[in-house]
A and B are shown apart, each in its own frame.
Chain A
């Protein structure tokens, strides 16, 4: 048992880098590539399921590499949240790799980079040591920047360069914070830090490292002033769609996972819950307003990711058990429906050869399977009853009872519905020109993902008790009231979109608000200073 955590991290990295040596020129090599990747993924799935059952029976397990005593060496710790996130990322990578295998022209380099990225993300979720997290995130930044810049045309070159430099600058801030913490306490291990910080005498000295580390983590998880790098990196035109799905579904969640861990470590020292509640709300509102004003279908989805992350951050900062679990379940749900939407958008783009949401029409008639999967994912993301989005949103608003947060969540829901009414405007209507033929077997992974969205809603109680070991059953009367609220907000959103929003040209306003590289760095500095002032005045 003891070694399996290390092998969960090392095995994809080794086999992925070995896979890069294969060249796929003919169909025989292509079959070898298919068999090898499916074999790697199934081994990883079996390994993580084994770890999950072990952790549920015996509690949190940890492995000290090199058999050093606790708090001295590098530790890989698997507690219940980490293992469920590992399972989620392995299953999503399986779907993305199957989608990429069915494309027409494939190169083995994309697959080797994807599998190496999978190993690095598993390492980020499992590691308990701050410097280990830093090293893995830096390598993941390089790998993702290579994947974004894969086709080397004009737009993706700028996006990849911006992504690389902004993330390296943010990680330098993170490392500086680690250095200050090490100088003061002498530990780098996260559990050791929590024990030391609860009895630390001089709390004022901890403000600057906390501010530095949180600025970096907030840039990785895209909260309000710091999200300008995200949409162009996730929705760049010539990257493979599998990489957009992986980035938006899993990698941005690793930023939120780091936020969760850091708040857990510093919970005895500072009380910054209210700040992140407000930041989450503002991020969510800005996210959907920018999503409504875009013309490109992938950019609508990428800006909408920011809105959902704002909602998850609200759920994590509400000081309530059920809202916390609802937010963690929403992380998993959002991964599933956002990847389903990105992969189906990839299919639509390769069929229609255009990315404009006003020009694409009639998806239901021409590609029925893809359109069905799209509709089910949209119902999931807006929180229709019986889908998984409604369960997680129910638990988040259950924890927010009695306060302005409940109405804020209803507002965010209406905004989500408006942006998806705009997105689903391309499902109806007729299309005049001819389409490129897409074979039916390419839509199979998308359909399976959307069916899992439906199952995640109906079978939510067994799934939550399987993954997190708690029993949470929604109150039936409350749930019916929430479903009624869903239909009412759907009506309001439709009326708002039809008569108010589609008349205004929001695209010009939104495109003036985009920040360049210097703007992002200035907003990092301003965010850091505001956070220092807030903690000094309010949270001590």
Chain B
């Protein structure tokens, strides 16, 4: 049984990104961890049922071993969603940095509580 398959690697990368979300206090590192999680999901979808002798599903006829086109189409959508979300989060971060002067979650939380009273 092979250990280094697409799915095992993607599960490791996904949970590495998720633990980065839990442990890191910098906002930019959280945004990077979300990008890591999305890359892991893309690898997982694409490696479901793929074997080395698959043919691309374009202009393929007959009894060939064709790769599954559905996850590929879904992942194009997901890559674009990832780009849009990262762009939005980064521009919000520029705003947050100019308002709070810090890029740390805990310090921003304290500043927010102080400015409420």
A–B proximity contact (CB within 8 A): yes
- In contact, B38 and A172 (Cβ under 8 angstroms): yes
Neighbouring B residues of A517 by C-beta, 8 Å: 30, 105
- In contact, A164 and B89 (Cβ under 8 angstroms): yes
A155 within 8 Å of B by Cβ?
A: yes
Q: In terms of DSSP, what is the predominant structure of the interface of chain A?
A: helix
- In contact, B45 and A182 (Cβ under 8 angstroms): yes
Q: Shortest Cβ distance from B37 into chain A, in angstroms?
A: 5
B23 within 8 Å of A by Cβ?
A: yes
B48 within 8 Å of A by Cβ?
A: yes
- In contact, A165 and B18 (Cβ under 8 angstroms): no
Binds B, one of A219-227, A344-352, A407-415, A518-526: A518-526
A536 to B41, CA, bound (A): 25
Interface size class of A (residues with CB under 8 A): 20 to 34
B77 within 8 Å of A by Cβ?
A: yes
A402 to B38, CA, bound (A): 47
A149 within 8 Å of B by Cβ?
A: yes
A415 to B116, CA, bound (A): 27
Point out the residue from B34, B48, B77, B93 that lies within 8 Å of A169, measured CB to CB. B34
Q: Shortest Cβ distance from B16 into chain A, in angstroms?
A: 13
Neighbouring A residues of B77 by C-beta, 8 Å: 131, 135
Interface centre among A131, A153, A179, A188 (most CB of B within 10 A): A179
B66 within 8 Å of A by Cβ?
A: no
Q: Shortest Cβ distance from B104 into chain A, in angstroms?
A: 10
Point out the residue from B74, B88, B116 that lies within 8 Å of A142, measured CB to CB. B88
A533 to B22, CA, bound (A): 21
- In contact, B88 and A158 (Cβ under 8 angstroms): no
Q: Shortest Cβ distance from B38 into chain A, in angstroms?
A: 6
Q: Residues 75-117 of chain B: 1 if any A CB is under 8 Å from the residue's CB, otherwise 0?
A: 0011001001100110011011001100001101101110110
Point out the residue from B18, B70, B78, B113 that lies within 8 Å of A525, measured CB to CB. B18
A516 to B96, CA, bound (A): 16
Interface centre among A169, A180, A522 (most CB of B within 10 A): A169
Interface size on B, residues (CB 8 A): 46
- Knowing A157-B99, A182-B71, A516-B109, the reply to whether A521 touches B18 (Cβ < 8 A) is yes
Neighbouring B residues of A157 by C-beta, 8 Å: 92, 95-96, 99-100
Interface centre among B49, B74, B100 (most CB of A within 10 A): B74
Neighbouring B residues of A164 by C-beta, 8 Å: 85, 88-89, 92
Neighbouring A residues of B111 by C-beta, 8 Å: 154
Neighbouring B residues of A131 by C-beta, 8 Å: 74, 77
- In contact, A135 and B81 (Cβ under 8 angstroms): yes
Q: Residues 176-187 of chain A: 1 if any B CB is under 8 Å from the residue's CB, otherwise 0?
A: 100110110000
Residue of B nearest to A142 (CB): B88
A23 within 8 Å of B by Cβ?
A: no
- In contact, B112 and A154 (Cβ under 8 angstroms): yes
A152 within 8 Å of B by Cβ?
A: yes
A525 to B19, CA, bound (A): 9
- Knowing A142-B84, A176-B14, the reply to whether A169 touches B21 (Cβ < 8 A) is yes
Q: Shortest Cβ distance from A179 into chain B, in angstroms?
A: 5
Interface centre among A152, A168, A183, A522 (most CB of B within 10 A): A168
- In contact, A158 and B108 (Cβ under 8 angstroms): yes
Neighbouring B residues of A521 by C-beta, 8 Å: 18, 21-22
- Knowing A135-B81, A176-B44, A521-B18, the reply to whether A161 touches B27 (Cβ < 8 A) is yes
- In contact, B115 and A155 (Cβ under 8 angstroms): yes
A518 to B107, CA, bound (A): 13
Q: Shortest Cβ distance from B99 into chain A, in angstroms?
A: 5
Q: Shortest Cβ distance from A162 into chain B, in angstroms?
A: 9
**A172-B37, A518-B105 given. 8 additional CB < 8 A pairs?**
A135-B77, A154-B111, A154-B115, A158-B112, A168-B85, A511-B113, A518-B22, A525-B22
The 6 closest A-B pairs by CB, nearest first: A183-B48, A521-B22, A521-B21, A172-B37, A517-B105, A158-B112
23 contacts between A and B (CB under 8 A): A131-B74, A142-B88, A149-B92, A149-B95, A155-B112, A157-B100, A158-B96, A158-B109, A158-B112, A160-B92, A161-B27, A164-B92, A169-B34, A172-B38, A179-B41, A183-B7, A183-B48, A183-B49, A188-B70, A516-B109, A518-B105, A521-B21, A525-B22
